[in-house]
Amino acid sequence: MMKKIQTIILLVIVFTLGIFSTAAYAASGNVKVTLPAFKVTLNGTVIENATNQYPLIVYKDITYFPMTYYDCRFLGLESVWNSSTGLKIAKTGVNWGYHKYQAAGRNNTVYTAQIADFKIQVNGKQIDNTKEEYPLLVFRDITYFPLTWRFAVDEFGWKYSFDERNGLVINSTASDLTAIQLTLPIVTLPDGEKGAFTVAGNYYYYQGEKGKIYQASVANPKERREVYQLPESYYFGYEYGLSSLHTDKGKAILKYHSGGATMGSDHIIWLKEDGTTEDIDHGYSAIRIYDDYTVRVDHWAPPIAGNLQIKKTDEHEYTNVGDPECYFGRFFLSDGQGLTSQPSQDLYLIDEEIYVLGYYQDNNLPTTTGIYRVNIHSGKTTRVCDAEASSFKITDDIIYFTDRNQYLYRVSLSGGQAELLIDQAVSQYEVLQGHLYYALAENGQLFALDNEESINPGGQLKKMEIQNGYLTAIFKKDSESPYKMMIIDKDGQILYKTMENIPLVRIENGKLILVKDN
């Protein structure tokens, strides 16, 4: 059974946290406010207003809440301030733990606040603060939000009650998710992207300065050790080559490229928990490691036929398998004068059958690339269906694939007639528990099959991935949508969403780890 996510850990890629509150730089009109004379309980925590640097306040008999960095997240919200776009507030679906901003002394009971005079959005909706009966206020340079029924219940979905005995009681969500935050010094690459990162077992693995790969304890992230040194490469402008980290069946796997595009090599390294490493593969290849077998497709250029290989776990050498006349693991596309091809990483071993792209070339009439089934014992090579395929994924005995136009199809694992699902070019697609998600190549919008409305309107998908029973979707930071990252569960429900730029996401050991951009 899939382990439920219990904790959200935000890994912030800064050495010191830059913003802890939502500052407001425009305000007008002084108003009188008081501290609550009644008890206030938020998510089970009694708020001590007398000694809080940012206490709750009351204006026109309505309680106001401080939109600081931690206070927002305590109630399952995010607030983002920008001098040009103003204040944006949105529900995320997860609560952080409570963090008290300790005051230097005891607060008075009466103060002066100002009416906020800047642009305001709540869950993507514009708010005209000049027309609000209970406008947003600014107190101690922090924006304060009215806890009216309209916002607390209708917009944020909170449970809200007030009586003389218990005072004001708000529970922001029924979710079991909580959050904490820590810092890791992951390198920023020349193109502005973050360096490689993953988590496996009891350790974080990340790329630091000067091509160093570190292993850090989850229990104490400050305890780290260098476990690998990337060689200098200068491939495509990267001083230490292109590298990535991911977790495969609990193992931390490092991939990187060394040398040039033609004479260079890809390397796959297993980073073990004891700090040692093992070279899994090098060269140009697609490779999948299973319990009993490792399956490999040789991708050296120029393409060669009979390039599908397999070996048992206890063996050292690969043996070729499949029709020696078939070109495996590439999508071939005619350019009018010859053939060009693109290597594919799509490779599956199911029972005793390998599923892989295949192509046969006749001297006079090239055929199309298709999905082939190869028996690991007999080598029998059979095309699954007649339709052309440029990429494919297998889940729940169904093959989902695209053709040269990037139209999306599906066919049974046993073969037969393919069904056209999307007759527009798609740039990415994933399947989770029978739910098909795809992004249109034209605009990057993310959709679920049979749903005409975008999951994140205005969001241009950057990357999506299935991780341990969840779909992670990262959107470009300059997208028009308020949300830049989402987590979707197996039932198709949005588990978590954030307005902050999140370049890296990992879900391992029942924890959701977000690497936040600074």
Please return the burial class of 329, using the count of CB atoms within 10 Å of its CB with bins 0-12, 13-18 and 19+: buried
User: For residue 464, is pLDDT > 80?
Assistant: yes
Q: Report which residue type is found at 177.
A: L
CA distances to 93, 283, 302, 464 from 399, in Å: 33, 28, 29, 18
Residues near 509 by beta carbon (within 8 Å), at least 6 away in sequence: 3, 199, 201
What would the pLDDT profile of 89-127 be if each residue is shown by its tens digit?
A: 888 878 888 888 988 899 999 999 999 999 998 988 899
Q: In what helix (H) or strand (E) does residue 177 lie, and over which residues does it extend?
A: none
Interatomic CA distance for residues 380 and 321, integer angstroms? 9
Q: Are strands 511-516 and 203-207 parallel, antiparallel or unpaired?
A: unpaired
User: For residue 86, is pLDDT > 90?
Assistant: no
CA distances to 32, 270, 355, 373, 402 from 349, in Å: 70, 21, 6, 9, 20
Question: Which residues sit opposite 66 in a β-bridge?
Answer: 144
What mean pLDDT value characterizes the chain?
87
What does the pLDDT read at residue 177? 63
- Nearest CA to 79 among 24, 15, 1, 149? 24
- Ramachandran class of 58: left when φ > 0, alpha when ψ lies in -120 to 50, beta otherwise: beta
- Where would I find the H helices in 103-183? 149
What does the pLDDT read at residue 180? 73
Q: In what helix (H) or strand (E) does residue 172 lie, and over which residues does it extend?
A: none
Question: Which residues sit opposite 144 in a β-bridge?
Answer: 66, 137
What is the DSSP track for 435-485? EEEEEETTT--EEETT--S-SSTT--EEEEEEETTEEEEEE-TT-SSS-SE
Report residue 365's pLDDT band, with 50, 70 and 90 as the boundaries.
low
Q: Are strands 110-116 and 27-34 parallel, antiparallel or unpaired?
A: antiparallel
CB neighbours of residue 314 within 10 Å: 6
Phi, psi of 481 (to 5 degrees): -70, 150
- Per the CB < 8 A criterion, the answer to whether 79 and 67 are in contact is yes
User: For residue 79, is pLDDT > 80?
Assistant: yes
What would the pLDDT profile of 272-322 be if each residue is shown by its tens digit?
A: 999 999 999 888 889 999 989 999 999 988 889 999 999 998 888 999 999
- Per the CB < 8 A criterion, the answer to whether 283 and 265 are in contact is yes
Q: In what helix (H) or strand (E) does residue 112 lie, and over which residues does it extend?
A: strand 110-116
- Per the CB < 8 A criterion, the answer to whether 90 and 78 are in contact is yes
What is the value of pTM for the model shown? 0.83
Largest CA distance in the chain: 90
CB neighbours of residue 205 within 10 Å: 25
Interatomic CA distance for residues 20 and 161, integer angstroms? 29
What would the pLDDT profile of 466-483 be if each residue is shown by its tens digit?
A: 998 899 999 998 888 878
Answer whether the bond into residue 302 is a cis peptide, omega within 30°.
yes
What does the pLDDT read at residue 235? 59
Handedness of CA 444, 448, 454, 456 (dihedral sign): negative
What does the pLDDT read at residue 56? 94
Q: How far apart are the first and last CA of the chain?
A: 36
Residues near 72 by beta carbon (within 8 Å), at least 6 away in sequence: 22, 78, 79, 89
- Per the CB < 8 A criterion, the answer to whether 497 and 93 are in contact is yes
Return the minimum-mean-pLDDT range out of 10-19, 57-66, 205-214, 434-443: 10-19
